[in-house]
Amino acid sequence: MKKVAIITLLGLMFVRAAFAVDISAPNFAKANAAYRDGKYDEAIADYEAILTSGFESGAIYYNLGNSYFKKQELGKAVLNYERAKRLLPRDPDVAANTQFALSEVQNDVQRPLNAWERLWEGHIKFYSVNEMALILLIFLVLFGAAHLATLYLHWKAGRLAMCAVAVLFFIFGYGLQAKLADEYNAAVAVRSSAARFEPNEKATVYFELPEGQRCQVQEREGGWAKIVRPDGKTGWVDAGSVEGI
């Protein structure tokens, strides 16, 4: 009975995924054809339609980013590349196009990182959220198995293995937490706007947020969003000028 329930559950999940591919793939191919023909508006509409239907993939975001880039909409291009990176963190095409698009951003502000920060950022950006979650589960199982093996089988290296797995578990656990926090607040300016000291039009302009600039959204109030630039400078911008990743 239990086996039947598990098989049914897995079967339902598979059917759901297969169904998603089934309905998305033709639209994806149609959008790609439009892109090849240089009909970028049409391609954008088709890619967006797939996303609106509730499904996503790294390739959809990547191709959508390309379409926006071809239309010189740098902000939306960077936004979709960043979304693609969320799902395809190690894809070389996504990385190359993101870097190229960012190189086109006027006055792109980046915070200089020290060696540890670079290492940490490299770690959390190497994996997707799902991969990190799966790795954490594997570490959890390994930890439990090593523990039980130590108890029941008197495995001599069990405690050492447990320590190693625990360290890795915490590294990945903390990494996953940081990644989730980063992705939750991460945003990209889809159009240039003035960042002000206060959320009103008469407030003094602190700095200009260029189209394509990555930032973090701290809070939203009315039609305003409080953003933090990578160098730590904060300002209020029109909420419509930034979109979350």
Q: Which residues pair with 215 in a beta bridge?
A: 187
Q: Contact between 123 and another protein (CB under 8 A)? A: no
51 lies in the site for another protein, by CB under 8 A: yes
With residue 215 as reference, give the H or E element that holds it: strand 214-221
Closest distance of CB 145 from another protein, Å: 8
Q: Of these, 1, 3, 38, 54, which contacts another protein (CB under 8 A)? A: 54
Which one among 148, 157, 181, 205 touches another protein, defined by CB under 8 A? Answer: 148
* Residue of 33, 189, 213 lying closest to 45 (CA atoms): 33
CB under 8 Å to 101, separation ≥6 — which residues?
A: 65, 69, 74, 77, 78, 81, 212
> Which among 105, 67, 108, 65 is positioned nearest to 85, based on CA atoms?
65
Shortest reach from residue 98's CB to another protein, in Å? 9
Is the CB of 137 or the CB of 160 nearer to another protein? Answer: 137
Contact range with another protein by CB under 8 A, out of 91-99, 108-116, 193-201, 228-236: 91-99
Sole window of 19-27, 190-198, 200-208, 221-229 interacting with another protein (rule: CB under 8 A): 19-27
Residues 236, 203 contacting (CB under 8 angstroms): yes
Q: Of 58 and 175, which CB lies nearer to another protein in the complex structure?
A: 58
C-beta separation of 221 from 198 below 8 A: no
Encoded tokens for 68: 């926006």
Site membership for another protein, residue 228 (CB under 8 A):
no
Q: Which residue has the tokens 């969003």?
A: 225
**Contact residues for 146 (Cβ-Cβ < 8 A; gap 6+):** 155, 158, 161, 162, 165
69 lies in the site for another protein, by CB under 8 A: yes
For residue 134, state whether it binds another protein (rule: CB under 8 A).
Answer: yes
Tell me which stretch binds another protein (CB under 8 A): 14-22, 113-121, 200-208, 234-242. 14-22
Cβ-Cβ contacts under 8 Å for 210 (sequence gap 6 or more)? 105, 106, 107, 108, 189, 192
Q: Is 15 in the site for another protein (CB under 8 A)?
A: no
Answer yes or no whether residue 58 interacts with another protein by CB under 8 A. yes
Q: Work out how close the CB of 72 gets to another protein at its nearest, in angstroms, rounded to a whole number.
A: 12
Chain position carrying tokens 């979109």: 243
Give the footprint of another protein on this chain (CB under 8 A).
Answer: 9-10, 13, 17, 20-21, 24-25, 28, 32, 35, 51, 54-60, 62-63, 66-67, 69, 87-88, 93, 96-97, 100-101, 129-130, 133-134, 137, 140-141, 144, 147-148, 151-152
